[in-house]
Structure 1
Amino acid sequence: MASTSGISASTNFDIDSIVSSLMTVEQKPLTLLSQQKTSYQSKISAYATLQSSLSSFQTALANLSTSSKFNVQSATSGDSSVFTATSSGSATVSNYSIKVGQLAQSQKLATSSFASTSSTVGTGTLTITLGTYDEANNTFTANPDKTAKSVTISATNNSLAGIRDAINAGDAGVTATIVNDGQSGGRLVLTSKESGEINSIKITVADADGNNADADGLSRLAYDPTASAGSGKNLVELQEARNAKLNIDGIDVESASNVVTGVLNGITLSLFKASPDTAVSLNVTKDVKAIKDSVNAFVTAFNAVNTTLRNLTKFDDSTTTAADRKNGALLGDATARSISSQIKMSLTKSVGGTDAFSTLSQIGVGIQRDGSLALDSSKLEKAINTNLDDVAKLFAAVGVPSDVETRFVTQGSKTQSGNYAINITQAATKGTLTGNASPDLNIEAGVNDTLSIKINSISYNLTLAAGNYASVEELAQQLQTQLKDAKSSAEVSVEGGMLKITSPEYGTGSTLEITGGTAASGLFGSDPVAVEGLDVAGTINGAEATGKGQVLTSTAVGNPAEGLVVSVRGTATGSRGSIGLSVGYAAQLNELVKGFTSDAGLLANRTEGLQESIKRVTKQEDALEVRLTAVQARYRAQFVALDVLMTQMKTTQSYLTQQLAAISANS
């Protein structure tokens, strides 16, 4: 019987060996596809390595691509136990003599002793106001930036502990704690959350027992600093509210906080200890080391990219056999070659717009024979010390406007160094809403005290404090307070005796709309006038630009200013001066590398193309596998049939031989 596999007993055919040999030839296209797929995968891995290296390079570029990165200063205190200082980079380089007369502190008030934390105090309402107490004139002026808060005390929370918890939950600008004085259950202590004289505490009580100032019931928590002890001034002051007091170069200064800002431009002082009789120095200098470190990081990151590109594109000529060569995964790759040439081209061309320097070599950054960078630290330090502004221009994108209300924002990948005129045909405006009738000054709770308003697509539901307001201005201040508490930066003003709300944003989309509320018509009349904001419009370098809010962007393709973004404030139209722009090496490279590494960049597109190729090859492999299976089955069937036929022929041959032998024997 013929065999379907193995060696046939009758014909000695090795069917498995024959079919295997034939299939080796048939499978060569599949081997080529597999090699092609491996090549694609190797390139994808190599692109990922290059992407990672370029991303690290971009981080170093970001530290040098804007001029603010060069505004690095060191602010050193002569005695850090008295104060420390930090600089934003905009401070004047100088030395100051500072005396700290006293530290700022928060006011602390305490009740009399209670038997226990569960002792009943009373019910009613506590209204907590923060402000300034003038002892000389015995007056209290509310802090305009702090809204008075009311805390309701009912039968459910009228214990000492309950009142503590209610005050802390009320976000009234004070912290309530219970201190055990060792004599009884404890005393309620109220501390202003913020220091300074402007944050002194005043507590007004609406006591359920009808007497709001006596030393009984809830009125035991009353504290009016202008009243008499026991008659509305019923808490004990443990610590007065104080401002920090300093003397800077002979000038007396006060601050509500121990973190002092705005006194020395660009400097923040943190006060820790009073030193009224001893002057402590403050030395503000350029932080040359920080700038050098950033430049060194730029050199190091570039060299890492250069090494990565060289390794990925190298040709190994150490062996004579091509199969033994360890060439780079991107040898001959057009994408890698393009990236390398574009980066090197950016580094070798001169930068315009600077006075002292135009090339990196002039500040000590030189290009080596292998394409890497080398840093001459002493040459760089000299350049920083003698001409920091031009060092900044050599690396960063620096735009210097001639108009005080024009600001350079950023540049695009195609923006060139140059001097570009700004001309405004329409100034940006904010959206407004103005009433068409004088407002009702009498606000009644539950009657006409609510207002629903939409500002720039954000809805606010406000409740005005009830009262008979003395003027439109006083009512406007109440509305302003409610908007501020609702986290809106809109501004309320009075115009022609009517209320006006101005959006905090500029441009189209800056809109205001009253959507409801019981106070709507009483505050703004039946038909208030809403005006939408306008975007700035004009030209940059003589070509049309696109405005959004106060931001104007040059969109003219091919114009040297293409991609330049400026901010134009104010209401003046016509010529708004010019922007002198220098686009340094780091800024240029940052835009260039961004184009390589972004989600829609060169490497992402190339990787996506290779992944699609892998999918295509995989489909070809699958189809070829199906065909090869069929071919193998056909070969095997053919050789089995041949084996059967030859076995039959051999049987016939044997029969005929026997017959012929018999005939011969009988003749």
Structure 2
Amino acid sequence: MADYSFGYGGIGSGLDISSIVSQLVAADRAPQDARLNKLEAAAKFKLSGLGSITSAFDGLKTALDALQKADALGARSVRTVGSGTGSGAGADAQAVTATVGKGTPVGRYEIEVLSLASAHKLVGGGVAVGTTFGAGQLRLGIGADFVDIEVKAGATLADIRSAINAAAASHGVQAALLTSDEGQHLSIAGSKTGAANAISITVAEGDGELHSLISGLEERAPAADAEVLIDGLRTTADGNSIADAVPGLTLKLQKSGTATIEVNADPAGSRAAVEGFVKAYNAALKAIKDVTGYNAETRTPSALTGDAQVRGAAAQLRDAMGGMLAELAGQGFDGRTLGLQTRGFPNADGSLVLDAAKFDAAMADNAAGIAAAFTGENGLAARLKTVVGGYVGSDGAFTARKGSLDDQVKDVAKRREALEARMDAVARRYQAQFVALDSLMAQMSTTSNYLGQQLSMLSAQAKAK
């Protein structure tokens, strides 16, 4: 509230004009302030309730998005179950390990690891410590790429190693010096496995000693692809991880041998998506109940008690869910079979309950049917999401309602500014009136004093006669 004191103490009247003006303005302001406070409080109270519901509906939409995905109920488990029937190496359950993603085809896969992928490695013959080489140039090939390496006159084997590393490290090649009874050995190794990453090195320019060094390099590990039979079908890869042979199945090759990989449906893993939906659905209903309830003991309403829009949202959500549960029952997935149903007496509030044991048993019996009922463009999740989407999102009814309430709060702020301007004008008017009154009273006081003096003088003159 503005300070309306203006340093004028009522010289003629003795009145505290600043205080009187402030009190008069406050009296004028009070009912208007009260009205604006009430409007603002009501709008913010509704905004808080609407925010709670919107947050819960957003959570439900997120859960429905996850449940709608084609592989939402396609959780899988994988294990190695002993030796396969492939030829070659004997049974070896540790030849391969596997991880599995959603939607991987269920079944048994006979795996035979024929060979692992390896990185190329070359090692040279022994060179006496301190041997130097003439100037020259080496060309190092890494698959289809090449780099040139300059060798300076008088370079030692350590210098050549360092030059190779400086030029080829970014291509995944590392040179090192090994020491044996025969002297120092130049080792050149690639970090990338696969035949496509083979290393080659030649002398582009140089003396006989440099030629002798490079020609003496021998292959100690080949640049080789992994080779594996999956149900008798040959697959090669440049690494020891194969992820594209069976959709969703990743094989980690450990060593040559055979194994059988078994992929099974994982009801508990699939149940997580449905449990997430049930939790979010119940949270949405609870949010509606919390913001529309009425405390009879304290006679206190909630933020949106009696609100028609919110009541309509609750009714639409329950009606849609009820209809979908009826459809599921018509497909053979009633509460006793699927384990999904509304809460019964004495706590029948429309919320959902899911019996985990019944759901897992139903998934084991008919996973494809349940997945079709819940997921996809025409499943339960998609249709219920349409209902929820009518309230949240850029075009949702709750979003529009929030915009309207925000506008009300902004309008109250503008009206406060206008009120402040009016009160300033009122204060200035009161100040002018009281200053005029004070001036008039000062004049009257002066006149009164003058008349008093004159009367005193007349009285004194009369007594003197």
Query: Given the two structures, how large is their TM-score scaled by the length of structure 1?
Result: 0.55
Q: Does the 8 A contact of 1:181 with 1:187 survive in 2?
A: no
**Residue 124 of structure 2 aligns with which residue?**
111
**Residue 180 of structure 1 aligns with which residue?**
178
SS of corresponding position for 2:173:
strand
Q: Could you tell me which of 52, 55, 60 is aligned with 2:58?
A: 55
Higher relative contact order (CA 8 A, sep 6+): 2
Q: Could you tell me which of 433, 441, 446 is aligned with 1:638?
A: 433
The one-character-per-residue Cα deviations of 1:57-109 (angstroms, maximum 9, x if unpaired) are 23322221122222221112358854321223444433456565654333322
**Residue 149 of structure 2 aligns with which residue?**
153
Q: Give the AA of the match of 2:150.
A: S
Q: Does the 8 A contact of 2:36 with 2:412 survive in 1?
A: yes
**1:94 maps to 2:95:** no
Q: 1:330 to 1:206 in 2, by over 3 A?
A: farther
SS of corresponding position for 1:33:
helix
**Residue 526 of structure 1 aligns with which residue?**
none
**Residue 80 of structure 2 aligns with which residue?**
77
**Residue 194 of structure 1 aligns with which residue?**
193
Within 1, Cα distance between the matches of 2:161 and 2:105?
53
The one-character-per-residue Cα deviations of 1:451-480 (angstroms, maximum 9, x if unpaired) are xxxxxxxxxxxxxxxxxxxxxxxxxxxxxx
Q: Which structure is larger by alpha-carbon Rg, 1 or 2?
A: 2
**Residue 340 of structure 1 aligns with which residue?**
314
Within 2, Cα distance between the matches of 1:318 and 1:353?
41
Give, in angstroms, the shift of residue 630 of structure 1.
Answer: 1.9
Q: Does the 8 A contact of 1:105 with 1:243 survive in 2?
A: yes
Task: Please list, as runs of the form range in 1=range in 2, the aligned pairs for 1:231-630 lying within 5 A after superposition.
Answer: 234-242=216-224, 244=226, 251=232, 255-256=236-237, 257-264=239-246, 266-274=248-256, 276=257, 280-320=259-299, 325=300, 327-333=301-307, 336-350=310-324, 356-357=331-332, 363-368=338-343, 369-398=348-377, 583-594=378-389, 596-599=391-394, 601-630=396-425
Q: Does the 8 A contact of 2:138 with 2:151 survive in 1?
A: no
SS of corresponding position for 1:163:
helix
Q: 1:355 to 1:41 in 2, by over 3 A?
A: closer
Q: Give the AA of the match of 1:162.
A: A
Give, in angstroms, the shift of residue 637 of structure 1.
Answer: 2.9
SS of corresponding position for 1:69:
coil
Q: Does the 8 A contact of 2:336 with 2:358 survive in 1?
A: no
The one-character-per-residue Cα deviations of 1:413-462 (angstroms, maximum 9, x if unpaired) are xxxxxxxxxxxxxxxxxxxxxxxxxxxxxxxxxxxxxxxxxxxxxxxxxx
Within 2, Cα distance between the matches of 1:385 and 1:635?
85
Give, in angstroms, the shift of residue 652 of structure 1.
Answer: 4.7
Q: Give the AA of the match of 1:161.
A: S
Q: Give the AA of the match of 2:165.
A: R
**Residue 86 of structure 2 aligns with which residue?**
none
Within 1, Cα distance between the matches of 2:113 and 2:146?
37
The one-character-per-residue Cα deviations of 1:26-45 (angstroms, maximum 9, x if unpaired) are 21223322432343344444
- Bigger CA drift: 39-48 or 632-641? 39-48
Within 1, Cα distance between the matches of 2:9 and 2:167?
96
Within 1, Cα distance between the matches of 2:373 and 2:151?
72
Q: Give the AA of the match of 1:105.
A: S
Q: Give the AA of the match of 1:343.
A: L
Q: 1:29 to 1:121 in 2, by over 3 A?
A: farther
Within 2, Cα distance between the matches of 1:615 and 1:78?
68
Give, in angstroms, the shift of residue 288 of structure 1.
Answer: 0.4
Q: CA RMSD in A?
A: 4.1
Q: 1:335 to 1:205 in 2, by over 3 A?
A: farther
Name the % identity.
27
Structure whose residues are more often strand by fraction: 1
Structure whose residues are more often helix by fraction: 2
Q: Does the 8 A contact of 1:312 with 1:330 survive in 2?
A: yes
Give, in angstroms, the shift of residue 619 of structure 1.
Answer: 2.3
**Residue 210 of structure 2 aligns with which residue?**
217
Within 2, Cα distance between the matches of 1:65 and 1:377?
20
**Which segments of 5 or more consecutive residues in structure 1 lack a partner in the other structure?**
131-147, 222-229, 399-582
**Which segments of 5 or more consecutive residues in structure 2 lack a partner in the other structure?**
83-92
Within 2, Cα distance between the matches of 1:106 and 1:7?
98
The one-character-per-residue Cα deviations of 1:590-633 (angstroms, maximum 9, x if unpaired) are 34445544345444444344334333332221121121022123
Within 2, Cα distance between the matches of 1:288 and 1:639?
86
Q: Give the AA of the match of 1:385.
A: A
Within 2, Cα distance between the matches of 1:24 and 1:117?
100
Q: Does the 8 A contact of 2:139 with 2:149 survive in 1?
A: yes
Q: Give the AA of the match of 2:303.
A: A
Q: Does the 8 A contact of 2:94 with 2:259 survive in 1?
A: no
Within 2, Cα distance between the matches of 1:18 and 1:193?
90
Give, in angstroms, the shift of residue 361 of structure 1.
Answer: 8.2
SS of corresponding position for 1:176:
strand
**Residue 446 of structure 1 aligns with which residue?**
none
The one-character-per-residue Cα deviations of 1:611-661 (angstroms, maximum 9, x if unpaired) are 343333322211211210221232233234334434544565566577778
Q: How many residues align?
A: 435
Give, in angstroms, the shift of residue 297 of structure 1.
Answer: 1.3
Within 2, Cα distance between the matches of 1:122 and 1:360?
85
Within 2, Cα distance between the matches of 1:359 and 1:648?
97
Q: 1:117 to 1:91 in 2, by over 3 A?
A: farther
Q: Could you tell me which of 204, 207, 216 is aligned with 2:204?
A: 207
Q: Does the 8 A contact of 1:115 with 1:186 survive in 2?
A: no
Within 2, Cα distance between the matches of 1:114 and 1:335?
89
Q: Give the AA of the match of 2:353.
A: A
Within 2, Cα distance between the matches of 1:12 and 1:650?
12
Q: 1:656 to 1:91 in 2, by over 3 A?
A: closer
Within 2, Cα distance between the matches of 1:628 and 1:271?
83
- Bigger CA drift: 260-269 or 614-623? 260-269
Q: 1:50 to 1:4 in 2, by over 3 A?
A: closer
Q: Does the 8 A contact of 1:119 with 1:160 survive in 2?
A: no
Q: Does the 8 A contact of 1:346 with 1:585 survive in 2?
A: no
Q: Give the AA of the match of 2:97.
A: T
